[in-house]
């Protein structure tokens, strides 16, 4: 999606509300979390590219996805580290690392480290399904 602007931080709150459903807005723009085990991509094994639902930027691919059984889609790394921004999150009485889209600054989920999953990075990017769209890979 090379026609995307480098940043969408100048999009107004009113424009986001028009573009997103109330549920998408609550997660992407207000930092909410969808309920576990209800997301569209929690268990999908479709090959393809996961994009930010707000701006279309590439976030993850099915190559990085793994089954963590935590209730949300899990990835061991982003497709490109520059596509996400990691921020310290001290909400809810704990210290976590929030994952945001580097292009539009939308909330995606959190990343957890050192949980012992057999992945190349020992990281689990726990991402809300509602914050992404899946573009299936060409099967040609």
- Choosing from 52, 101, 104, 126, which is the catalytic residue? 126
Give the residues across from 107 on adjacent strands: 100
- What the chain holds in terms of domains, given with CATH numbers, is 13-136 (2.170.150.20)
Q: Please give the Cα distance from 132 to 58 (Å, whole number).
A: 9
Reported as type and span, the H/E element at residue 50 is strand 48-52
Give the pTM. Answer: 0.88
Predicted confidence (pLDDT) per residue in 71-115, tens digit: 999 999 999 999 999 998 887 777 889 999 999 999 999 999 999
- The DSSP annotation for 76-116 comes to SS-SSGGGEEEEEE-GGGS-EEEEEETTT--EEEEEEE-S-
Does 70 qualify as catalytic in the annotation? Answer: no
Query: Three-class SS of residue 13?
Result: helix
């Amino acid at each position: 999606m090379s026609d995307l602007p480098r940043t969408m931080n100048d999009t107004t709150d009113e424009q986001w509300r028009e573009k997103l459903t109330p549920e998408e807005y609550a997660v992407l723009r207000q930092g909410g979390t969808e309920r576990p085990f209800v997301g569209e991509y929690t268990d999908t094994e479709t090959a393809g590219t996961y994009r930010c639902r707000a701006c279309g930027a590439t976030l993850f691919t099915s190559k990085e996805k793994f089954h963590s059984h935590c209730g949300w889609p899990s990835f061991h790394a982003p497709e490109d580290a520059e596509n996400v921004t990691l921020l310290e999150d001290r909400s809810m009485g704990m210290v976590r690392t929030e994952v945001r889209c580097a292009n539009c600054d939308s909330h995606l989920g959190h990343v957890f480290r050192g949980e012992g999953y057999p992945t190349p990075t020992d990281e689990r990017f726990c991402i809300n399904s509602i914050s992404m769209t899946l573009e299936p890979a060409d099967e040609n």
